[in-house]
Amino acid sequence: MPRAVSDGGESIDTDVASRTSSHRRVDSVHQHGHGYNVGVPPKKSLFAEFSDAVKETFFADDPLRQYKDLPRSKKIWLGLEQVFPVLGWGRNYSLGKFKGDLIAGLTIASLCIPQDIGYSKLANLPPQVGLYSSFVPPLIYAAMGSSRDIAIGPVAVVSLLLGTLLQNEIDPNTHPLEYSRLAFTATFFAGVTQAALGFFRLGFIIEFLSHAAIVGFMAGAAITIALQQLKGFLGIAHFTKKSDIVSVMKSVWGNVHHGWNWQTILIGASFLAFLLVAKYIGKKNKKLFWVSAIAPLISVIISTFFVYITRADKHGVAIVKNIKKGINPPSASLIYFSGPYLATGFRVGAVAGMIGLTEAIAIGRTFAALKGYQIDGNKEMVALGTMNIVGSMTSCYVATGSFSRSAVNYMAGCKTAVSNVVMATVVMLTLLLITPLFKYTPNAILSSIIISAVLGLIDYESAYLIWKVDKLDFLACLGAFIGVIFSSVEYGLLVAVAISLAKILLQVTRPRTALLGNLPRTTIYRNVEQYPDATKVPGVLIVRVDSAIYFTNSNYIKERILRWLRDEEEQQQDQKLSKIEFLIVELSPVIDIDTSGIHALEELLKALQKRKIQLVLANPGPVVIQKLRSAKFTDLIGEDKIFLTVSDAVKKFAPKVVDNV
């Protein structure tokens, strides 16, 4: 039997033969000449079709397979392990693993403490709230999360998002309590959004944010965050509340003569240089990762000591002042469950929750791939959501996976999520014992730490690769970037989603079609653009449709096939070649068809009949052939016009071409 090979390299004959052999229908599988007829799978009931669709959409990983044939006690324990993975890996925990987790936990704690104080300022919240958010949420995640490498805590992008969106509703300076309440409300709804997406297995929704859009969004957010830090870096007292680049630069240059403080600039610039050098050393030599990890804490200690002994705060150097001592106070009573701020809290929380999810799952998958294990996306969402719901009730704001901390955690040799517990313990001791020591920490050093941290979010190498590979993807990347830096984080996100969806719609409504030709001395038919040696079959036009045929594209596909036919006929008239008598449509890439698609095929058949051209179909898949039969289209076209391969169709209608192979 001749073999026809698809563009992906798989054997179509083998694929279809195996597919048909699994469905033992007498009327659908029998030898015909040298090949097989197209198989039709058994017709499913409406309930079976619906349940299969639901299973494939929401339960593609078949989560219940491991519960089969188990006694009830084991099923209950396995169910608890699904919710609390710590019950599984905790049984095999050892002292050797703890050593790795202890070192990693201490290392990321040294990085997170100064970052948390800075990020809370970015969110316009008191500095202790940032530390609170690295105490409770990591403990919850350690019990419920499935990633061994993620380090949990506040992150720059989500902090900026909260800071910019919430201050539009409440001024954090004049109404600090109401602002904090709104932040806790947003955190609660961020957690609810995340947990709901995981519980209802709707994680595929976050896939609508394409990789290209995330690259652009993160780069734009990084630049916006860095620009926001110019307030603390330059010592400007009166700074714009807007985050777009134009407003920020106006505010910076408007204060150049009377608002900048040279002592602040000296502190900020010298320590920023130190941090960047430490980061460079850590990047160049992986064994020295700890240099860049502890550099922020060293910077805080040295700069705080320097300000204290020189009393630079008396000369205009802004300092952190008091950080409230003690661990997280309860805040469940502060969440707005009614009133005018409920809707705002929900809207901001949902956006922040989605961004947090996207970042955390991307980080989790990256490090899981490096270590050769898998994470469960839906389980991660439930874990992240639960920790933010609990966090909102314990004076925390939105926490998620931090890329910089997770990278340090990974390089420090973490073995399990216990590294998060170690980090949280160090943060707790900091809150209980040493927060007064941060009183003289200059704001400039926090700005320097944030600037050095967010520079890593600008991934120009990925942006260049996106440009080389896919110009439409790059448009999504650029749109998100421009939207963030020239408008706001919210609009940048909307632009990113809009362009990503527009790309999907473009691909769905304007799918690719290809003209196929025969590769010399073979029975293989390939795209003539990709294989210039492929020759067209005299009297036969072969077109392949590279997409499912739905109402969104059915008319376009019909018109495009007729355009291929018109172009080919014009060419043949010029070259005085034989008239086209057969149009073969290769359907192997067509995974589905709806009633609009079938109607388009009927119209195509009528248009061809007027031109006295016969329509032939090659290799329709199981769903397609079943629907064509149900719609009686197979009776309309004739069973003898449906073939397993293009080769079989050509053999029937242009036997001289096959004889010459």
For the segment 282-333, what is each residue's pLDDT rounded down to a tens digit? 888 888 888 989 999 999 999 999 999 998 888 888 898 889 999 999 999 9
Rounded mean pLDDT, 460-475: 92
Q: Picking from 43-47, 178-182, 353-357, which range would have the lowest pLDDT averaged per residue?
A: 43-47
The pLDDT assigned to 17 comes to 40
Predicted confidence (pLDDT) at residue 494 exceeds the cutoff of 90: no
Q: Read off the pLDDT of residues 27-66 as tens digits, 9 standing for 90 and up.
A: 433 344 445 677 777 777 777 777 777 777 666 666 767 7
- Sequence-distant (≥ 6) Cβ neighbours of residue 427 within 8 angstroms: 109, 112, 113, 116, 131, 134, 135
Q: Picking from 135-144, 220-229, 327-336, which range would have the lowest pLDDT averaged per residue?
A: 220-229
Domain with CATH 3.30.750.24 in the chain: 12-43+510-660
**Amino acid, res. 553:** N
Euclidean distance between CA atoms 113 and 117, whole angstroms: 7
The pLDDT assigned to 93 comes to 93
Confidence of residue 415 (pLDDT cuts 50, 70, 90): very high
Euclidean distance between CA atoms 246 and 566, whole angstroms: 54
What six digits make up the tokens of 578? 């034989």
Euclidean distance between CA atoms 352 and 189, whole angstroms: 9
- Cα 38 to Cα 35, 328, 573, 585, 617, distances in angstroms: 10, 67, 35, 14, 10
Cα 650–Cα 651–Cα 652 angle in degrees, nearest 5: 90
Rounded mean pLDDT, 186-198: 96
For a pLDDT cut of 70, what percent of the chain falls above it?
A: 92
**Amino acid, res. 560:** R
The pLDDT assigned to 644 comes to 92
**Amino acid, res. 635:** D
- Cα 600 to Cα 398, 514, 553, 620, 633, distances in angstroms: 50, 18, 10, 16, 11
What six digits make up the tokens of 591? 């995974």
Q: How far is CA 264 from the centre of its chain?
A: 39
Q: How far is CA 358 from the centre of its chain?
A: 5
What six digits make up the tokens of 268? 């900020």
Predicted confidence (pLDDT) at residue 502 exceeds the cutoff of 70: yes
Predicted confidence (pLDDT) at residue 244 exceeds the cutoff of 50: yes
The DSSP H or E segment spanning 404 is helix 403-411
The pLDDT assigned to 29 comes to 37
DSSP 8-state symbol, 247: H
Average pLDDT for the chain: 87
Half-sphere exposure of 572 (CA within 13 A, CB side): 17
Confidence of residue 656 (pLDDT cuts 50, 70, 90): low
Euclidean distance between CA atoms 416 and 86, whole angstroms: 9
Q: Read off the pLDDT of residues 418-433 as tens digits, 9 standing for 90 and up.
A: 999 999 999 999 999 9
pTM for the model stands at 0.80
Euclidean distance between CA atoms 480 and 491, whole angstroms: 8
The pLDDT assigned to 36 comes to 66
Euclidean distance between CA atoms 421 and 496, whole angstroms: 35
What six digits make up the tokens of 59? 């339960």
Rg (CA), the chain: 31
What six digits make up the tokens of 111? 């990085």
Euclidean distance between CA atoms 647 and 584, whole angstroms: 10
- Sequence-distant (≥ 6) Cβ neighbours of residue 568 within 8 angstroms: 515, 536, 541, 580
Residue 433 has a CB neighbour count (10 Å cut-off) of: 10
Confidence of residue 7 (pLDDT cuts 50, 70, 90): very low
What six digits make up the tokens of 174? 């004049």
Say if residues 130 and 117 touch (Cβ distance below 8 Å): yes
Predicted confidence (pLDDT) at residue 381 exceeds the cutoff of 90: yes
The pLDDT assigned to 62 comes to 67
Strands (E), 333-462: 400-401
Residue of 653 and 526 predicted with greater confidence: 526
Handedness of CA 482, 488, 492, 498 (dihedral sign): negative
For a pLDDT cut of 90, what percent of the chain falls above it?
A: 60
Predicted confidence (pLDDT) at residue 23 exceeds the cutoff of 50: no
User: What CATH number does the domain located at 12-43+510-660 have?
Assistant: 3.30.750.24
Pick from 579, 571, 602, 587: nearest CA to 645: 587
Pick from 498, 499, 492, 495: nearest CA to 473: 499
The DSSP H or E segment spanning 525 is strand 525-527
Residue of 480 and 187 predicted with greater confidence: 187
Say if residues 416 and 101 touch (Cβ distance below 8 Å): yes
What six digits make up the tokens of 56? 């494939």
* Phi–psi pair at 489, nearest 5 degrees: -60, -40
Burial (CB count within 10 angstroms: exposed 0-12, middle 13-18, buried 19+), residue 516: buried
Strand pairing class (582-586; 540-545): parallel
Residue 274 has a CB neighbour count (10 Å cut-off) of: 18
Predicted confidence (pLDDT) at residue 3 exceeds the cutoff of 60: no
What six digits make up the tokens of 138? 């990591």
Residue of 129 and 9 predicted with greater confidence: 129
Euclidean distance between CA atoms 604 and 564, whole angstroms: 13
What six digits make up the tokens of 121? 């300022």
The pLDDT assigned to 491 comes to 84
The pLDDT assigned to 9 comes to 39
What six digits make up the tokens of 186? 């947003």
- Cα 590 to Cα 29, 129, 571, 618, 624, distances in angstroms: 21, 54, 28, 11, 8
The pLDDT assigned to 5 comes to 39
DSSP 8-state symbol, 123: T
Residue of 389 and 210 predicted with greater confidence: 389
- Cα 66 to Cα 81, 491, 514, 585, distances in angstroms: 12, 44, 44, 43
Q: Picking from 72-86, 349-363, 515-529, 616-630, which range would have the lowest pLDDT averaged per residue?
A: 72-86
What six digits make up the tokens of 189? 């709804």
Euclidean distance between CA atoms 113 and 587, whole angstroms: 59
Euclidean distance between CA atoms 441 and 455, whole angstroms: 22
